């Protein structure tokens, strides 16, 4: 089948660059994420996340370790944005998400160069292009998507987010994103406060996921079994019930339905500052993960992926298959 990505449809309507311009205006008093820190990033300030005006890309690579429905035979062409607005104490990518203040050598780039990378993903046969942790750099990275679209870029765009996106941002992204790939990290505000300094996260992430589903609907695939549009929700099961996975699954079943695609992840291992926050100082037990799988099955979810709770800590770590 033939699918026209959202950015191309907006470009054809003369709407794409207007959206990018509106996104850029948000940098003047930053409210891209739910921190709403108000930093004047256009005036030289950096936000809560440490991001300024200049786009920072920590790496660009083809990654085969994502869900099979996203990778196809080649892998997802991922753009990993530097920094993050979440600040989780257990982040497995903390060297990227929480590098500290100031400039990072080799990260600063331009939307034009990033557009080149997106075009390259298409040339080497990636079926999708992923923007990883894009919230705080949405204006700059979608400027890159727009530039690539003008040069023939036609891959579905994956918005791979921690789920802390502001409603204002998501409204502007309507039609620009083909596949939403959000996390829902917690169901309890107390856990979100303790481990991510974000007590409003559970409510914000749920609202965000509902809006994402409204925009793109259920995940749809082509005749190769590769997704081109829709929602896929990632749930990382944390030790000691910290993630509240059962509550989140009940929310998704009730508010969206059991047809939504779920990626139930067992790959947690203690990283970053987790050693100082028991029970995050230990790996997830197989029993804890299997309990989450049982809830998923009891609720009748029809689509998604589970992992082997014994091998996943060693085989599902974030990684790079080859850089470009």
What is the reported pLDDT for 322? 46
Q: CA–CA separation, 101 vs 56, rounded Å? A: 13
pTM of the model: 0.95
What is the reported pLDDT for 292? 97
Chain segment 133-157, per-residue pLDDT in tens: 999 999 999 999 999 999 999 999 9
Q: Right CATH number for 6-323 from 2.102.10.10, 3.20.20.70, 3.10.20.340, 3.40.50.720? A: 3.20.20.70
Q: Does the pLDDT of residue 37 top 80, yes or no?
A: yes
| Cβ atoms < 10 Å from Cβ of 222 | 15
Where are the domains positioned within the chain? 6-323
What is the reported pLDDT for 2? 87
Q: Does the pLDDT of residue 316 top 80, yes or no?
A: no
Chain segment 94-114, per-residue pLDDT in tens: 999 999 988 999 999 999 999
Q: Does the pLDDT of residue 318 top 50, yes or no?
A: no
What is the reported pLDDT for 34? 98
Q: CA–CA separation, 106 vs 59, rounded Å? A: 9
Q: Give the 3-state secondary structure of residue 1.
A: coil
What is the reported pLDDT for 309? 76
Q: What is the mean pLDDT of residues 199-203?
A: 98
């Amino acid at each position: 089948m033939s699918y026209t990505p959202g950015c191309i449809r907006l470009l054809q309507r003369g709407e794409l660059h207007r959206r990018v311009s509106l996104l850029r205006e948000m940098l003047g008093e930053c409210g891209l994420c739910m921190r709403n820190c108000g930093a004047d990033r256009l005036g030289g300030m950096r936000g809560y996340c440490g991001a300024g005006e200049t786009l920072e890309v920590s790496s660009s690579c083809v990654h085969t370790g994502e869900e099979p429905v996203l990778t196809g035979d080649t892998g997802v062409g991922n753009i990993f944005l530097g920094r993050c607005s979440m600040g989780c104490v257990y982040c497995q990518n903390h060297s990227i998400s929480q590098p500290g203040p100031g400039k990072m050598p080799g990260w600063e780039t331009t939307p034009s160069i990033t557009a080149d990378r997106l075009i390259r993903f298409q040339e080497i046969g990636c079926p999708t292009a992923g923007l990883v942790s894009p919230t705080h750099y949405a204006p700059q990275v979608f400027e890159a998507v727009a530039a690539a679209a003008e040069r023939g870029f036609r891959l579905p765009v994956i918005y791979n987010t921690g789920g802390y996106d502001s409603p204002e941002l998501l409204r502007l992204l309507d039609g620009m994103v083909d596949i939403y790939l959000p996390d829902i990290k917690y169901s309890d505000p107390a856990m979100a406060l303790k481990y991510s300094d974000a007590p409003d996260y559970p409510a914000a992430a749920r609202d965000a996921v509902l809006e994402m589903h409204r925009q793109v609907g259920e995940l749809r695939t082509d005749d190769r079994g590769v997704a081109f549009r829709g929602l896929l929700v990632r749930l990382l099961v944390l030790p000691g019930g910290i993630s509240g996975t059962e509550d989140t699954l009940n929310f998704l079943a009730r508010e969206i339905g059991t047809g939504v695609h779920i990626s139930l992840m067992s790959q947690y291992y203690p990283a970053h500052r987790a050693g100082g926050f028991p029970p995050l100082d230990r790996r997830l037990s197989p029993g804890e993960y299997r309990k989450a799988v049982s809830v998923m099955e009891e609720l009748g979810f029809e689509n998604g992926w589970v992992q082997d709770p014994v091998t996943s800590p060693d085989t599902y770590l974030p990684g790079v298959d080859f850089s470009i």
